[in-house]
Amino acid sequence: MNLGAALATAGKRVILVDADIGLRNLDLVLGLEKRIVVDLVEVAEGRCQLRQALIRDKRFPALSLLPASQTRDKDAVTQEQFAAIVDQAAEAADYVLVDSPAGIEGGFRNAIAGATEAIVVTTPEVSAIRDADRVVGKLSDRALPIRLIVNRLRPEMVHTGDMLSVEDVCEVLGVELLGVIPDDEEIIDTTNRGEPLVLDDSKRLAAIFHKIVRRLEGEIVPFTRFGNGYRHGLLGRLFAGLTTG
């Protein structure tokens, strides 16, 4: 959601596809849930056109959402139908971001069916990394280029040795790093309110998503160093300029 919004802010035409049929959420975190009329399953079944199902985000004219169906099963759509929808979306956009469901079942296979690249998101926890490793293996079987986002990093816990570092995670997974997102209350707050945080440049994390966009565009952008001083409190914010620049 935030990556899509950041891409749109950078002037790219973006279509977000929610592949989590039956457990959709992308509409909710974008605040678009009340505007859904038709969904992905109806497009797959040929009951409406793709452009009829796309919901344009008024805050980002270049961003649209193809919502998942909430009342259907993952097997309501075949991999071929899914790939065809993503192909069609790719003709109308610079980026098509497909939000995969959790797990490695049919819904996951659908989500990667039409993709040409993959972003794997993990947290720096042993259990999440093992899952990510399994997913990386599955994606490699399809010869998809893979890049990694390490999410929910708590720099102060890395500092005390209670959390794996980004370097540790990259070493285990052997995948190119695309971005590091610290565990920050801004994410919880903005997703609950349905407002992508890149809308507000004063947000600490906005700069991080903008950097990820530049890396996706092929630029080499140095990674933010999260010092031990990255904190959520007043003191942390005073020093934020030093640590998140």
Partner 1 sequence: MHALTHTATATEPAVTRGETTKLGRAIVVTSGKGGVGKTTTTANLGTALAQRGARVALVDADIGLRNLDILLGLENRVQYHVLDVLDENASLDDALVADKHSDGLYLLAAAQSREKEEVDTEKMRALVASLRERFDYVIIDSPAGIEKGFKNAVAGAQEAIVVCTPEVSAVRDVDRVVGLLGNRFRPQLVINRVRPQLVKKGTMLSVEDVDAFLRLPLLGVIADEPQIIVTTNRGEPLALSRDGQTANAYHAIAARIAGEDVPAPRVEMPKPTLFERLFRGGRA
Q: Scanning the structure block, which residue is given the tokens 């590091």? A: 180
- Judged by beta carbon, residue 10 or residue 19, the one nearer partner 1 is 19
Query: CB of residue 157 vs partner 1: minimum separation in angstroms?
Result: 6
Pair type for strands 118-122 and 14-18: unpaired
Cβ–Cβ under 8 Å, residues 209 and 193: no
Query: Which of 11, 34, 127, 218 is the binder for partner 1 (CB under 8 A)?
Result: 127
By CB under 8 A, tell whether 23 contacts partner 1: yes
Question: Which residues, including other chains, have CB under 8 Å from residue 125's CB and lie 6 or more apart?
Answer: 163, 164
Pair type for strands 118-122 and 95-99: unpaired
How many C-beta atoms lie closer than 10 Å to residue 125's C-beta? 13
Query: Which of 67, 107, 179, 182 is the binder for partner 1 (CB under 8 A)?
Result: 107
Query: Which of 188, 221, 235, 238 is the binder for partner 1 (CB under 8 A)?
Result: 188
By CB under 8 A, tell whether 28 contacts partner 1: yes
**203-222 footprint of partner 1 as x/- string (CB under 8 A):** --------------------
DSSP 58-75: TT-TTEEEEPPPSSS-GG
Query: CB of residue 47 vs partner 1: minimum separation in angstroms?
Result: 23
- Determine the Cα angle at 220 with ends 113 and 173, to 5°: 50
Residues at the site binding partner 1, with contacts judged by CB under 8 A:
22-23, 25, 28-29, 70, 73-74, 101-107, 123, 125-128, 130-131, 134, 154, 157, 162-164, 185, 188-189, 191-192, 194
